[in-house]
């Protein structure tokens, strides 16, 4: 049958099982939006307030569900507004397909109105991208885009479609989508098994690849069998239950001292789906200096890129661990685990529960909430406190921007997660600095009746940068202290949301309960001390076990 380009876009989305897309319309995509109108009985379009919010929503949807998130934007500024969200997804290996409109083929390269080379702009931050210049290439490009986005190491793919391609016609035949099939791991290097067998003090560094692979149960079984302590990167948080006796917490610049010291003491480090980022390893050459190292990863380009290893296995993480489990013997590393427990007693996070601090607030939110709650953060001090103190028990419950560190990520991502899981509570933890960047998306949440609970950790500052200025720049607080006093409660209510304020610990539980009970979007303004710093913190140029602990 013959279809025009706009119809082919919609039919390809149907083939791929897409039922929700996020976006913002414009002239270059108007024909696609006309087809969305005709297909609204099965395909829902979520209109955001800004294209960046749409990209983050597609990202949050993908992280929460494991599906490919889809975002649609027009040409020029619409397309460029997606770039931060695309780069965020790229750095954290999130499957996303971004569809953009462009000017007609005849107008390309002529500085036409709202023309931009989005293909060239996004090349460094996508797994692949397409500029469709022939209507016959449209369906194959879209199908490949979804396959590339979700296969191997996931990531974003962009498909740019000139406007005249959306009106041209060609023959179209439906295809059954090819979903990525996990391939078995055919070979394990004997050195891998030998190093695991010989290790007396093994430690696992678990990253986002564990969660992307759905390998949390396999990881736990593997750790228990080889008696290894488990530290998580920011992206790996939730792959081991917070209260598991082998779990030592997050690692790196603001990691737990238990993890940071243990890495320096272990004799074998097994990196599982982690990429050895600079925020994890600290001073080069001092990271796990006493340990032999193994690396399990789906991306061969990551092996020996940042840290040289003694052995590796390339493949899907879940398949690697399932292959290894029957090959390794049950070990007894009691002395090592006793050493870990001693470190746990000596270096556990402490805070004054009588003071309205961010850790206190997080502990009460968790206590009054559920393990099924999805917690989304922006970027800054509040993000690090959440990684340290919130007791995540399951994977896909902690959504945050790790690699790119995108302030303003949180609310869009929370919208995507809440859209996907209407029955789950979605809690957004943000700072006053991050919240201001994209708080226009409250309108989107209110319009769509998404009852997200937003807790603003309001210290009247850009807290993380201020912390650096405090510790390393002799308190020269340049552009980090806020002398304004935004009425977040009034703002929330003016948008159709509920607003609350917490000024002391005595109000904390009551306000959290009120927010959780409300059927509306809620903004809770938490007034916390401006000068509080996140500890531990690794100073510049230091090894992670040399972190400042208070």
Catalytic residues: 51, 113-114, 163, 464
- Cβ atoms 502, 525 nearer than 8 A: yes
Beta bridge partners of 502: 526
User: How buried is 234 (Cβ within 10 angstroms: 0-12 exposed, 13-18 middle, 19+ buried)?
Assistant: buried
Structure-token match 């000596």, residue found: 346
Q: How far apart are CA 222 and CA 240, in angstroms?
A: 11
Dihedral in degrees, nearest 10, Cα atoms 499, 505, 507, 509: 90
Please tell me the total number of residues recorded for the chain in this structure. Answer: 550
In degrees and rounded to multiples of 5, residue 123 shows phi and psi of -50, -40
Nearest to 467 by CA among 373, 358, 361: 358
> H/E element holding 323?
helix 317-324
In terms of DSSP H, where are the helices of 171-252? 190-198, 208-213, 216-226
Outline where DSSP puts E strands in 267-395.
268-272, 292-297, 311-314, 374-377
Q: Specify the DSSP class assigned to residue 183.
A: P
> H/E element holding 399?
strand 398-399
- Cβ atoms 86, 151 nearer than 8 A: no
| b/e code 260-289 from CB counts within 10 Å (16+ = b) | bbbbbbbbbbbbbbbbbbebbbbbeeebbe
């Amino acid at each position: 049958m013959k279809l025009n380009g706009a119809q082919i876009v919609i039919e390809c989305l149907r083939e791929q099982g897409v039922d929700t897309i996020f976006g913002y319309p414009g002239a270059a995509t108007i024909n696609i939006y006309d087809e969305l109108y005709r297909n609204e009985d099965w395909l829902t379009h979520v209109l955001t307030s800004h294209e960046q919010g749409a990209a983050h929503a597609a990202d949050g949807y993908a992280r929460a569900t494991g599906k490919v998130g889809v975002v649609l934007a027009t040409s020029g500024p619409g397309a460029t507004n997606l770039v931060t969200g695309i780069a965020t997804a790229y750095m954290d290996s999130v499957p996303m397909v971004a569809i953009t409109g462009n000017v007609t083929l005849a107008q390309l390269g002529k500085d036409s109105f709202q023309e931009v080379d989005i293909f060239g702009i996004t090349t460094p931050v996508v797994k692949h991208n397409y500029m469709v210049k022939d209507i016959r290439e449209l369906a194959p490009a879209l199908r490949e885009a979804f396959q590339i986005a979700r296969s191997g190491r996931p990531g974003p793919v962009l498909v740019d479609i000139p406007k005249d391609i959306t009106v041209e016609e060609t023959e179209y035949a439906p295809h059954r989508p090819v979903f990525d099939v996990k391939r078995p791991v055919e070979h394990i290097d004997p050195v891998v098994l030998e190093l695991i067998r010989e290790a007396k003090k093994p430690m696992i560094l678990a990253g986002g690849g564990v969660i992307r692979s759905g390998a949390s149960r396999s990881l736990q079984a593997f750790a228990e069998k080889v008696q290894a302590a488990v530290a998580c990167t920011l992206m790996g948080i939730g792959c081991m239950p917070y209260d598991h006796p082998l779990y030592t917490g997050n690692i790196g610049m603001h990691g737990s001292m238990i993890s940071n010291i243990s890495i320096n003491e272990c004799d074998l480090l097994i990196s599982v789906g982690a990429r050895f980022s600079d925020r994890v390893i600290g001073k080069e050459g001092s990271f796990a200096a006493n340990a032999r190292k193994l690396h399990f990863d789906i991306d061969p380009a990551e092996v020996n890129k940042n840290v040289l290893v003694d052995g590796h296995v390339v493949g899907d993480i879940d398949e690697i661990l399932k292959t290894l489990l029957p090959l390794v013997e049950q070990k007894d590393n009691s002395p090592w685990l006793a050493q870990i427990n001693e470190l746990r007693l000596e270096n556990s996070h402490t805070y004054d529960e009588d003071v309205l601090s961010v850790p206190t607030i997080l502990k009460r939110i968790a206590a009054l909430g559920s393990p099924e709650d999805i917690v989304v953060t922006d970027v800054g001090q509040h993000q690090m406190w959440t990684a340290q103190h919130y007791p995540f028990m399951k994977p896909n419950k902690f959504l945050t921007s790790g690699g790119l560190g995108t302030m303003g990520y949180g609310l869009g991502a929370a919208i995507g997660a809440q859209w996907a899981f209407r029955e789950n509570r979605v809690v957004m933890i943000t700072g006053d600095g991050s919240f201001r960047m994209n708080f226009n998306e409250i309108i989107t949440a209110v319009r769509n009746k998404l009852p997200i609970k937003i807790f603003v950790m309001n210290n009247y500052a850009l807290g993380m940068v201020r912390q650096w200025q405090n510790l390393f720049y002799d308190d020269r607080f340049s552009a980090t202290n806020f002398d304004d006093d935004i009425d977040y409660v009034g703002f929330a209510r003016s948008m159709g949301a509920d607003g609350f304020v917490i000024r002391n610990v005595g109000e904390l539980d009551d306000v959290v309960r009120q927010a959780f009970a409300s059927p509306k979007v809620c903004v809770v303004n938490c007034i916390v001390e401006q000068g509080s710093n996140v500890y531990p913190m690794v100073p510049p140029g230091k090894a992670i076990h040399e972190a400042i602990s208070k």
